[in-house]
Amino acid sequence: MFDSMLNKYNIVSESLNVECAMSFREKIHWVAFVGLLAGFGWYFLSYPWETANTRMGMMTSVWMLFPATIIFLVPMIAGSAYFAIRTPKEANLREDEREKLIHLKGTHAAYYPLVLGVWANIFAMINGLIYGWSVNILMATLVLAELVRVGAQLYYYRRGY
């Protein structure tokens, strides 16, 4: 009798399929990941690299940051609002211990590209690559570190911790 009860329960569990459902934070991380790729993918592909080592190249970087930020932020805001409206209860939940652990692991993983990027920038400056190169190497470092952070967190969310 107990077995049949458990079997029935398994059917209930499968129909709910709650194990596979993404949490609010995981969905937001996906939006951030895609937003980062879109916004800064456009930036690095569109940047006029032949002017990078001039003052104008540096100013171009600064001005191109505005549309890149908009491309990144608009889906982030829209996605957060959409998922918050769809699952308001989850949106208001505080991070629990597993999510805090995932958060810390992601941040830890992002430290390595950040250090590498700073060293790359120092190396580039010593070799005369300044202005736009400096800005772009630092920006690429930040974007890469963010992609590693968010990507690692997405991996840990799927793995369970």
Closest separation between CB of residue 106 and other proteins, Å? 16
Two structure tokens written together for 81: 């609002």
- Of 118, 123, 124, 125, the C-alpha closest to 141 is 118
Report the alpha-carbon distance of residue 142 to residue 86 in Å, rounded. Answer: 31
Task: Give the nearest distance from C-beta 88 to other proteins in angstroms.
Answer: 14
Of the two residues 94 and 128, which places its CB atom closer to other proteins in the complex? 94
Hey, which residues between 17 and 76 contact other proteins (CB under 8 A)? 18-19, 21-23, 26
Picking from 147, 22, 34, 153, the residue whose alpha carbon sits closest to that of residue 100 is 153
Q: In the complex, what is the shortest distance from the CB of residue 19 to other proteins, in angstroms, rounded to a whole number? A: 4
Residue 125, number of CB atoms within 10 A of its CB: 13
- Give the one residue of 37, 59, 87, 90 binding other proteins; rule: CB under 8 A: 90
Alpha-carbon 143 to chain mean position: 8
Residue 85 as a binder of other proteins (CB under 8 A): the answer is no
Smallest separation (angstroms) from other proteins to the CB of 125: 42
User: Is 99 a residue that touches other proteins (CB under 8 A)?
Assistant: yes
